[in-house]
Each structure stands twice: as structure tokens, then as C-alpha cells.
Structure 1
């Protein structure tokens, strides 16, 4: 599977020397390190799974809080990737508490 549209970085955002995160910093993260907080709509999940399987492309990364690893956008994409057996997924980290 490929990921469209971003520069991939295989770096931990918690590292002290890491530069300030920009909008297009995408990290390859172990799926199990992220936490979900919303219910999943089964019909939407199946639709996303079918889309990813047919295109073999994930067009948008998962967005997670950099301090807690809680998903703030992409719950259904996360669940679809999990069902498809992915172990490493693209994640954009944001600071949820930042204004």
C-alpha cells in the first residue's frame, strides 16, 4: 500500500531534539500505539475497507494527539487499516491542547 501526498518520517515525535511539527509531517507509527475514543459505524467502516482494498492507496493519514496518542481524526480509517492487517500506519501528530 502507498500513501499519497506527504513526506514520511520514521521518527518519534516525543524525541527532545525533534523540530516543531508542521502540518505535513507524517510518521510511520505502530497501529497498537494509538487509542480510539469514538464508536465505529459498521457501514462506513466496510465502505472505507472496500475503498482502500480497491485503490491500494490511503489518501489521508490518521491524526492523533502527540501527547496521548488518542486519535482525533481518522477513527474509521484506523479501524479499516486494523481490519486489513496493517501494523504500521501513517500518522500526523498535533497538539490537541494548543490554541
Structure 2
């Protein structure tokens, strides 16, 4: 097997994985609607990307480090929007009802 082939496959996989988050980030940012997004899923996803980065550093795999870092940034932005919107919704419900939610 050619030495560059694993890196090429890893790069292609990384591009696909990272690109898969772009529509969610764009829609969440543009519409500000994150109600249907699972908070627990994104917490686990951000954790997983962080662990993949550490693993990539241990094995010195540039595609793993680069694409998981990019994916971590995208997933973190969705998570932050989700947390922000959840807090806003809770505040609005508290103001509306006068009761803590």
C-alpha cells in the first residue's frame, strides 16, 4: 500500500465528517432555532471530538487532529447556541408566568 493512501483516506473522511456539521450550524445560526437539537447529544459529540484530538496527537495523525478540531469548533458553536436559546426560553417562560421554570 502506498504510504500516502491512509492519509488521503483520512483526509477524505475528515472533509465529509466536518462538512456534515455545516448545514446544522448554518441553520441554527440563521434561524436561531435549536429546539429540536439534543443537548445531551451535542455534549457527547463535543466530548468525543476532544478525545479524538488527543488520540490524534498521541498517534501523530494530522488528519485526525485537523478535522476533529474543525468539527469540535462547529459542534461547540451549535452547543453554545443551544444553551443560549434554552436559557432565553426559560427566562421568557419565567417572565410570562411569573414562576421559575
Fold shared, TM-score > 0.5 on shorter chain: no
* TM-score between the two structures when normalised by the length of structure 1: 0.27
* TM-score between the two structures when normalised by the length of structure 2: 0.27
Structure number with the higher strand fraction is 1
**Which protein shows a greater Rg?**
2
